[in-house]
Amino acid sequence: MQVDISSCDYIVDLDFPHDPIESTHEPRYILDEKTWERVTCLPFLDARHSSRLTRAFWIPSQMWQSRNRFGDYCLLRNRESVERKIEKIVRAHSTA
């Protein structure tokens, strides 16, 4: 089930900056810094642009891992809607 993105306080977005893919139904939310704030991001292996050998066998070396490409897997927060809700909670507690 899909919902209107404007009703979301948080979303998870996967972005591959070296090979960006964008469409009408799936824009690159991570780039919309006016609306979305990065809460936390983790690297996510881009299997299409990484060597099969380095994906299959992990060797703890920088040279080995440099053959893999990674994207950003991020939790994004809707700045406006979350701030509005925080302000509402603060006002409710200050009048109590």
pLDDT of 36-87, one tens digit each? 999 999 999 999 989 888 888 878 888 877 888 999 999 999 999 988 888 8
With the CA atoms of 46, 21, 11 and 56 taken in that order, what torsion angle do they form, in degrees rounded to the nearest 10?
-10
Residue 35's pLDDT is 95
The pTM assigned to this predicted structure is 0.79
Residue 1's pLDDT is 58
Residue 84's pLDDT is 87
Residue 67's pLDDT is 85
Residue 28's pLDDT is 93
Number of domains in the chain: 1
Domain that holds residue 36: 5-95
